[in-house]
């Protein structure tokens, strides 16, 4: 006769087990929520610190930029002052150099042209020609005259081609002025300079002007063989 064994009855889910599961889930949920809050707070703190750091850097950059603008403005003012002062000095030097050129040219010019056969009897510096209303039409640095010719000399420290062109216009004004005043003498011109560029010299001669250059303590007249000045 077989003995029947005995089994312990299997226990199902009890209230206690369910409650324990709920407690465990609740603790895990609370732990995860805490971790999420801490992570969110940390990220917000890092973002805030980054934003504050960038704002500080921006303010510092703005201060540096403002300082640079201020310094640049001061430098520009100083540069402008230096440019104006340099221009004034250069202008003064140009005026003094021009006056020096006139002093070198005028004392010898009549003698030099008379050696070429012109026989000028009168030389005048800085002659102004005015219209009937007193307006200045033109000014001649040196004017040499005799019964047949009027020589108008333009004196520059360093003549340019533009100066030659201006002298052509000056000669045309003198011709009109002479006609209006019944002066039938021939008008001729010359360009004088303390420093004469070779290209400018050729241009002046081609335009029909005598060229007067400084030569030591005196001046010399440059005119190629067979040169005939233009007459107005």
Question: Is the Cβ–Cβ distance between 169 and 190 less than 8 Å?
Answer: no
Sign of CA dihedral 82, 85, 86, 87: positive
Closest Cα partner for 211 from 129, 141, 153? 153
Sign of CA dihedral 210, 175, 104, 194: negative
In this prediction, residue 1 carries a pLDDT of: 45
In the chain, domain spans: 101-222
Q: Among the ranges 63-67, 86-90, 130-134, 207-211, which has the highest mean pLDDT value?
A: 207-211
Q: How far apart are CA 156 and CA 196, in angstroms?
A: 9
User: Can you spell out the DSSP letters for 59-113?
Assistant: HHHHHHHHHHHHHHHHHHHHHHHHHHHHHHHHHHHHHHHHHHHHHHHHHHHHHHH
Domain spanning 101-222, CATH class: alpha beta
Q: How far apart are CA 70 and CA 123, in angstroms?
A: 59
Kindly indicate the confidence band of residue 103, based on its pLDDT and cuts at 50, 70 and 90: low
Take residue 40 and report the two structure tokens written for it: 């969110």
Q: How far apart are CA 212 and CA 108, in angstroms?
A: 11
SS3 23: helix
In this prediction, residue 48 carries a pLDDT of: 75
pLDDT at 98 over 60: no
Q: Residues, the chain, total?
A: 232
Q: What is the pLDDT of residues 157-212, one digit of tens each?
A: 889 999 999 999 999 999 999 999 999 999 999 999 888 899 999 999 999 999 99
155-168 burial string, b = 16+ CB within 10 Å, else e?
A: bbbebeeebbeebe
Q: How far apart are CA 191 and CA 201, in angstroms?
A: 9
Q: What is the pLDDT of residues 54-71, one digit of tens each?
A: 878 877 887 888 788 878
Q: How far apart are CA 135 and CA 140, in angstroms?
A: 15
pLDDT at 122 over 60: yes
Q: 156 phi and psi, to 5 degrees?
A: -130, 150
In this prediction, residue 206 carries a pLDDT of: 96
């Amino acid at each position: 006769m077989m003995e029947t064994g005995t089994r312990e009855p299997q226990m199902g889910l009890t209230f206690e087990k369910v409650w324990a599961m709920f407690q465990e889930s609740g603790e895990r949920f609370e732990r995860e929520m805490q971790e999420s809050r801490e992570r969110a707070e940390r990220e917000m703190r890092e973002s805030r610190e980054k934003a504050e750091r960038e704002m500080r850097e921006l303010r510092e950059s703005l201060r540096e930029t403002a300082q640079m603008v201020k310094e640049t403005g001061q430098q520009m003012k100083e540069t402008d002052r230096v440019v104006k002062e340099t221009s004034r000095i250069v202008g003064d030097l140009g005026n003094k150099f021009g006056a020096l050129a006139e002093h070198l040219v005028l004392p010898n010019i009549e003698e030099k042209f008379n050696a070429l056969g012109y026989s000028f009897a009168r030389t005048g510096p800085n002659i102004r020609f005015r219209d009937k209303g007193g307006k200045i039409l033109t000014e001649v640095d040196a004017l040499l005259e005799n019964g047949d010719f009027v020589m108008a000399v333009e004196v520059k420290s360093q003549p340019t081609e533009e100066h030659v062109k201006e002298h052509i216009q000056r000669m045309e004004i003198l011709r009109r002025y002479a006609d209006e005043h019944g002066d039938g003498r021939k008008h001729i011109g010359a360009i004088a300079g303390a420093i004469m560029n070779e290209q400018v010299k050729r241009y002046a001669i081609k335009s029909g002007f005598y060229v007067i250059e400084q030569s030591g303590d005196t001046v010399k007249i440059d005119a190629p063989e067979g040169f005939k000045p233009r007459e107005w």
